[in-house]
Amino acid sequence: MGWGDLGAFGEPSKETPNLDQMAAEGMLFLDFYTANPLCSPSRAALLTGRLPVRNGFYTTNAHARNAYTPQDIVGGIPDSELLLPELLKKAGYINKIIGKWHLGHRPQFHPLKHGFDEWFGSPNCHFGPYDNRELPNIPVYRDWEMIGRYYEDFKIDLKTGEANLTQLYLQEALDFINKQQGSQQPFFLYWAIDATHAPVYASKQFLGTSQRGLYGDAVREIDDSIGKILRHLQQLGISENTFVFFTSDNGAALISAPKQGGSNGPFLCGKQTTFEGGMREPAIAWWPGHIPAGGVSHQLGNVMDLFTTSLSLAGLQPPSDRQIDGIDLLPVILQGKLIDRPIFYYRGNEMMAVRAGLYKAHYWTWSNSWEEYGKGTDFCPGQSVSGVTTHTQEEHTHLPLLFHLGRDPGEKFPLSFASEEYQRAMEWIAGIVQRHRDTLVPGQPQLNVCDKAVMNWSPPGCQKLGKCLKAPESDPKKCSWPH
């Protein structure tokens, strides 16, 4: 989902009354970022509080490449990483993930091995349908075992866009919340829906209801579901004891526009890029009785902050034996403070850009290769900024391209290198980058090796369902990451 996809963020058809209401009752974050322009590393960063380059969710196969966790990926979340649910357990929390895990699908990466107590959802994106010979269909898990596969037991009609998955995820969320009411145990629910990820889907009752086409139908169903979850918390009388945060894992995929792609509002390009459209996200905090209603924050935030903030809410400290990138947002949310901190924009193993205050400096620019662009892959449709949306990897490390995101949110007018403003801002930013580089200990890259043998041929539970498939011979290769 993109920054511009919600009514509260200026989507021209304003079809998200529940999320807009959530913002009106809570706090809207206008300068909130994901840790990566792609879903998988972004979700790993959210759950570890650490940049992908630290937690291993990146590749060194080629320079500055986006990588994720398709089903032939060999890697996943290392055991050495501490995930939010693992830590919350210490404070007595029960933890559930509903939806897309995306931190590795092989047994050692299973969410229940990394702190979650329950899972309903899938390890990978819902691409398909596959023939179960070249590629197996993606499994859907309940806790330790698979209970079916997409396109077989969990239907997605690519022709009509119909799938009732969001409704299943919603019911699962409501049931989980209900269950904890009996136990009085504190809970952490990671509602990791994926209806707006291509192939975009919506339930029958939402199909055709949006001005925006299928993508809008999916957004409307998510909006409706979140409204139901919030009202449920209120009806149970636990809303003032439940912190809720809504955000997205990457900008709208303009490559899928207009049929399956969303809006990044006034920002440049989309998913896969380190321009604002790729990484600035809609974000709303909600906690009635604690967060002043209608608040608007310009705090530079990041999905990694949800790690540290959640620990803080549970009375826990973040781990002290490693670098944590997330900050505790509670002073921002509860007291309206502004914390000075930078945002780093990585593409794989390269820091492409950094934001400090309203300045954003690009050290590298790349939208995608001429080769991919020539094949019709365009991450910036209709947008072209000379020297900025480049189709070769352009290095600017000695003289970064600098933008003022207040005057120029669309990254269209680089500041003059000769200006005093440029000199002053770059002096500040250079120090930030130096400190970042000096302390950076990259993790072991997890997204380098792919092997067809590790795909979801025979996930646990497949025997009971008669859904085990024969894996091919192992043939590990360097994954190909073109972007």
- The C-alpha atoms of residue 408 and residue 401 are separated, in whole angstroms, by 13
Our CB check for a second copy shows the closer of 294 and 482 to be 294
Our CB check for a second copy shows the closer of 315 and 382 to be 382
Q: Is 358 in the site for a second copy (CB under 8 A)?
A: yes
Our CB check for a second copy shows the closer of 136 and 216 to be 216
Phi, psi of 254 (to 5 degrees): -70, -20
CB of 217 to a second copy, least distance (A): 11
CB of 373 to a second copy, least distance (A): 13
Task: Please list every residue from 3 through 22 that binds a second copy, using CB under 8 A.
Answer: 3-4, 7-14
- The C-alpha atoms of residue 354 and residue 213 are separated, in whole angstroms, by 35
Q: Is 337 in the site for a second copy (CB under 8 A)?
A: no
Our CB check for a second copy shows the closer of 139 and 216 to be 216
- The C-alpha atoms of residue 354 and residue 346 are separated, in whole angstroms, by 9
Of 365, 357, 324, the residue nearest 427 (C-alpha): 357
CB of 252 to a second copy, least distance (A): 11
- The C-alpha atoms of residue 368 and residue 88 are separated, in whole angstroms, by 39
Alpha carbon of 219 to those of 7, 207, 237, 276, 293: distances in Å? 11, 11, 27, 21, 24
Window of 145-153, 160-168, 206-214, 318-326 that interacts with a second copy by CB under 8 A: 206-214
DSSP string, 146-207: EEEEBTTTB--BTTTTB--HHHHHHHHHHHHHHHHHHHT--EEEEEE--TTSSSP-B-GGGT
Task: Please list every residue from 403 through 432 that binds a second copy, using CB under 8 A.
Answer: 404-413
Of 360, 298, 392, the residue nearest 30 (C-alpha): 298
Coil, strand or helix at 366: coil
- Ligand-binding annotation for 249, yes or no, is yes
Report the residue from 34, 40, 122, 210 that binds a second copy according to the rule CB under 8 A: 210
Q: Is 471 in the site for a second copy (CB under 8 A)?
A: no
Neighbours of 315 (CB within 10 A): 8
CB of 347 to a second copy, least distance (A): 21
The strand pair at 295-297 and 27-33 is best described as: parallel
The residue whose two tokens read 């209970």 is 147
Coil, strand or helix at 11: coil
Coil, strand or helix at 362: strand
CB of 77 to a second copy, least distance (A): 33
Coil, strand or helix at 87: helix
Our CB check for a second copy shows the closer of 10 and 92 to be 10
Q: Is 211 in the site for a second copy (CB under 8 A)?
A: yes
- Ligand-binding annotation for 39, yes or no, is yes
**Bridge partners of residue 118, in order along the sequence:** 96
> What is the torsional sign of CA 324, 330, 331, 337?
positive
Q: Is 331 in the site for a second copy (CB under 8 A)?
A: no
Task: Please list every residue from 365 through 404 that binds a second copy, using CB under 8 A.
Answer: 381-385, 404
Task: Please list every residue from 256 through 285 that binds a second copy, using CB under 8 A.
Answer: 257-259, 263, 265-268
Which residues are annotated as catalytic? 39, 102
Size of the site for a second copy (CB under 8 A): 45
CB of 248 to a second copy, least distance (A): 16
Our CB check for a second copy shows the closer of 213 and 460 to be 213
Annotated binding site for Ca(2+): 39, 249-250
Annotated binding site: 39, 249-250
**Positions that interact with a second copy (CB under 8 A):** 3-4, 7-14, 28, 30-31, 210-213, 215-216, 257-259, 263, 265-268, 296, 298, 358, 381-385, 404-413
